[in-house]
Structure 1
Amino acid sequence: MSEQSTPAGDLTGQSPAEARQSALYLTLHQVPEGKVVSYGQLADLAGLGRAARLVGRTLSQLPDGSSLPWHRVVGAGGKLSLMPGTLSGDEQRARLRAEGVNIRNNRVDMLLHGWRPTEHNG
């Protein structure tokens, strides 16, 4: 058995991959409307270390109709990684704007819109 720390959930009979996915989904579900989180920050908050690419891959495989706020996940420094002119890129921009998130030069101002969980308890 590995001595690496793993996200909570693997003690419930989930495989390590399922436990990582559950931790990621649980953390993403907490990102409030009007706030964004980077792929790397989401991985870290979910207890997955520096697994930004795992976050991107997992979110790209969300089932249609998922209620998770995938659109609130952005690249490092607030850069929108989904390209404008694509279905998912345009949907992300529309959803963020509907929540009051300003997008300028394909970026979100992380100082203004970045989620800092310690400031949003309650």
Structure 2
Amino acid sequence: MNDEFKQNVYTLIGAIPKGSVATYGQIAKLAGAPKHARSVGYLLKHLPNDSTLPWHRVINSQGKISFPTGSEKFNAQSFKLQAEGVVLLNGKISLQKYLWR
């Protein structure tokens, strides 16, 4: 994973507007590496604790939060999304309604 990819990923995530979400694969594709969705997840997992990047706006391709349901991280991401007006129904986010385009 090169620095250019990493910088592109961070820039793209920073551009996701409040109330919208993007998928790991979408970010990877826009960053120029369409088969590297897992790399996007890796970069987010290793963000510094004081990062202001809106990591919570990145979800999986099924419209779900990737953390285990009920975990501390799941609850934090769910809370942040709901605070921005993103609705979770049965643990899923409507990509049709909230996907960043």
- TM-score (norm: length of structure 1): 0.79
- State the shift of 1:85 in Å: 2.1
* Counterpart Cα distance in 2 of 1:103 and 1:65: 26
* Counterpart Cα distance in 1 of 2:97 and 2:81: 13
Same amino acid, percent of matched pairs = 38
Report how many aligned residue pairs link the two structures: 101
Which residue of 66, 70, 95 maps to 1:85?
70
Aligned to 2:19: 34
* Counterpart Cα distance in 1 of 2:94 and 2:8: 26
Q: After superposition, where does 1:63-82 map in structure 2 within 5 Å?
A: 63-82=48-67
Unmatched 5+ residue regions in structure 2? Answer: none
Unmatched 5+ residue regions in structure 1? Answer: 1-15, 117-122
User: Runs of at least 4 residues of structure 1 off by over 3 A?
Assistant: none
- State the shift of 1:114 in Å: 0.6
Please report the RMSD computed on the Cα atoms of aligned residues, expressed in angstroms: 1.1
Greater C-alpha Rg: 1
Bigger drift between 43-52 and 66-75 goes to: 43-52
Secondary structure, counterpart of 2:49 in structure 1: coil
Secondary structure, counterpart of 1:35 in structure 2: coil
* Counterpart Cα distance in 2 of 1:109 and 1:37: 11
Secondary structure, counterpart of 1:76 in structure 2: coil
